[in-house]
A and B are shown apart, each in its own frame.
Chain A
């Protein structure tokens, strides 16, 4: 590593003093851009800024040798050489910003004196991470759509494309030790909470490599500190309040994010959960993912009050732009800090949109217009918003993001390949996992002579 850096340093110090050999730097940068210029690469500076800046400073010839340095595979840029060479811009002379400050939409507040900040700093590293995660969720959901149409996925399949800023933004605002529970539109959260695309797709296809060994399906995926994946509308909200009770009981400063949709928001058990959470000051963040439609019913036709962030009444609330990942992240940080300080529950309404219908059996155009969907796609797509921000403030290049797209596509393809080829769970295991920690016993099959073994 040091040797390579020394070599690069020698190369660069002899290079032209002009910062940009090719086109001039972009003009329209957002507020507060910090541009770092690095002509001398030292080990310390690389350490300080992390490997994220290293590729931008390493010459093309060094990139080919990147694999033997043990750099993460995603930094192997050799396949992008053609585009780079064509533009004749030395990678070594391209300097990305370390971070940039962005303005975000102010949240509407209910029973709160002040809300989350209206500006936020996004580092290049985080930006690339969020972009990759959102793109992965997007492509994973589209792949699930494809597999469903091929009848490789059966039953219920509720997709969340369009809502990527919610799952990635929420995860960005909490710790892995916090807890999250949601309803059936859960594939994105399953990923952001730590499971691989392989395990998720294989669960959708009902194979033994699935995260629930093929026994749960789309609506019943679980991970560490992620409690599903729940099929009964609204039932997860009292459960989430219960998890928050456990958080308080255990005293480790953890919070529980309890999600539900605009349709579930009118359910009675949600209000029971509000009552108990507020009464006992539970560290519960109630989150209404308002995507404007409860199945086929628009919010105006379903709710007497569509101010979902106010529906907690005595619980303070904020309404958040759910298509802007930075807005979601800041609001989540704010809400988590609120709960951790012991003030009790808080409510967040994320205004978001789903491109697909309610589920794969719903085309999604009988209760809304294609124009509406198209408008949201072109103006508010969360991935597009992040990409524009990053490119315009020189946090990343278009090519770089395209490379991430390619890598993500490959990852999804591999996962889909696995999910299609993996065998179904063995029939012998039909009776497994009825009880926990019990000795094996027999389970009756379709008639008295068919017996399955049940193992915990």
Chain B
């Protein structure tokens, strides 16, 4: 399975995220699927495949999901498999939806101490095949208590796997891999991405389409600089790359897809090729994902290939403000990414 999707993905890397025409068994139509629908599809397929999988969360059933990600599932699978929980921030395979990951802080003790650590503490006796999913990071105008990015918090903990999909393909492939994984997996979605449609390649339409956890994807090939990102900012990086391309700067944009275990090999190979690195994330700068990437670059072979210090583009080091102008300047924008790239390349 992995071999087949590997065969498929390598040539896919050659093209940017637009229409991919190749040899297929079926004639591909240009299918557009939103991230929301991709997650819905992924969960639907896994619920059908394994009766031990079930979904619980606030408003996931009759309300069809606070963000409509679980729309239609309750009608199809009923009360036993799709469970509405009251507000509350065995072996079965639960998918636990957090309305936002900010609420996960109420349950974070369970995520870390009861889920992440249990297999280790029991000496390998008690696995915890659970998925925690929900929107993470900044939204629009939801202010400080609803805008935090938890990639660094969860990425810190051994025993957890943490994934962060960007587009529809990522969303479907990663949620399916997460559900099939026998470990606790945190899936950091993004509310602003739910409604965004993307091209859905034919292989992603298969019921067995999986994206391996721990593997990054090069969304755009380049030669001058490596730009590493995850989740929504990947889109901003691609926009920045398009702008810079007109000026003759070719950026290689890497979509991390997985925060933990991080795919350093892909990042290192790219840095060894381009000699420059910029990391982009929505979370706060201190002790963040970019900080980890930089530290690991220093420890590895790619350090000697850097022609300039690595640079991080992050959210501003403030609780998220409400006023639009302040909020806009508290998250990395395309201009900030372009500026950082040019600084790194000294142009």
Contacts and interface: CB of A to CB of B under 8 A. Distances in A.
B161 interface: yes
Interface in B85-118: 85-86, 88, 90-92, 94, 109-110, 113-114, 118
Contacts of B121: 212, 215-216, 220, 228
Given A436-B127, A448-B299, A242 B122 contact: no
A238 B123 contact: no
22 contacts: A212-B125, A213-B124, A215-B121, A216-B121, A220-B122, A228-B126, A231-B113, A235-B114, A239-B114, A249-B54, A249-B92, A250-B92, A275-B88, A276-B85, A276-B88, A434-B159, A435-B182, A436-B124, A436-B129, A436-B183, A437-B181, A438-B183
Most buried by A among B91, B121, B123, B161: B123
B120 interface: yes
A222 interface: yes
Given A215-B122, A256-B90, 11 more contacts: A222-B122, A222-B126, A242-B90, A245-B90, A249-B80, A276-B85, A432-B124, A435-B159, A435-B182, A436-B128, A436-B183
In the A-B complex, list the 10 residue pairs whose CB atoms are closest, starting with the nearest. A246-B90, A213-B123, A436-B127, A212-B123, A433-B124, A220-B121, A437-B182, A222-B122, A436-B182, A448-B299
Contacts of A314: none
A211 B122 CA distance: 8
Nearest to A227: B126
Interface of A: 179, 210-216, 220, 222, 227-228, 230-232, 235, 238-239, 242-243, 245-247, 249-250, 256, 272, 275-276, 279-280, 432-438, 441, 443, 448, 456
Contact of B127 (A212, A216, A249, A437): A437
A437 B183 CA distance: 8
Contacts of A232: 109, 113-114
B77 interface: no
A14 to B, nearest CB: 58
B158 A443 contact: yes
Nearest to B112: A232
B183 A435 contact: yes
B122 A238 contact: no
A235 B109 CA distance: 8
Most buried by B among A211, A215, A249: A249
B261 interface: yes
Interface in B135-169: 158-159, 161
A222 B113 contact: no
Nearest to B124: A433
A243 B129 CA distance: 13
Contacts of A220: 121-122
Contact of A276 (B86, B118, B158): B86
A215 B182 contact: no
Given A222-B125, A433-B124, A272 B88 contact: yes
A232 B112 CA distance: 11
A322 B128 CA distance: 33
B122 A275 contact: no
B113 A235 contact: yes
B114 A230 contact: yes
Interface residues of B, number: 34
A250 B91 CA distance: 9
B119 A435 contact: yes
Nearest to A441: B261
A281 B86 CA distance: 14
A275 B86 contact: yes
Given A246-B91, A249-B92, A434 B86 contact: no
Given A232-B113, A235-B113, A249-B80, A216 B123 contact: yes
Say whether chain A's binding surface is mostly helix, strand, loop, or mixed.
loop
B25 to A, nearest CB: 30
A313 to B, nearest CB: 15
B218 to A, nearest CB: 22
A242 B94 CA distance: 10
Given A232-B113, A235-B109, A435-B183, A215 B90 contact: no
Nearest to B161: A435
A246 to B, nearest CB: 3
Contacts of A448: 299
Contacts of B119: 433-436
A456 B109 contact: no
Contacts of B91: 246
A24 to B, nearest CB: 55
A273 to B, nearest CB: 9
B272 to A, nearest CB: 18
Nearest to B96: A242
B63 to A, nearest CB: 16
Contacts of A211: 123, 125
B84 to A, nearest CB: 10
Contacts of B123: 210-216, 433
Nearest to B86: A275
Contacts of B181: 437
A434 to B, nearest CB: 5
Contacts of A213: 123-124
Contacts of B109: 232, 235
A243 B128 CA distance: 12
Given A235-B113, A235-B114, A243-B90, A434 B120 contact: yes
Contacts of A212: 121-123, 125
A432 B158 CA distance: 11
Nearest to B296: A448
Most buried by A among B94, B126, B181, B261: B126
A210 B121 CA distance: 12
Contacts of B129: 436
A119 to B, nearest CB: 36
A235 B125 contact: no
Nearest to A230: B114
Nearest to A279: B86
A441 B88 CA distance: 36
A211 B72 CA distance: 45
A26 B123 CA distance: 52
A226 to B, nearest CB: 10
Contact of B90 (A228, A247, A275, A279): A247
Given A212-B123, A222-B125, A434 B158 contact: yes
Nearest to A231: B113
A178 to B, nearest CB: 12
A211 B92 CA distance: 24
A239 B110 contact: yes
A359 to B, nearest CB: 18
A435 B86 CA distance: 31
A210 B126 CA distance: 15
Contacts of A279: 86
Given A215-B120, A432-B124, A238 B110 contact: yes
A257 to B, nearest CB: 13
A433 B120 contact: yes
Contacts of B161: 435
Contacts of B83: 280
Contacts of A280: 83
Nearest to A256: B90
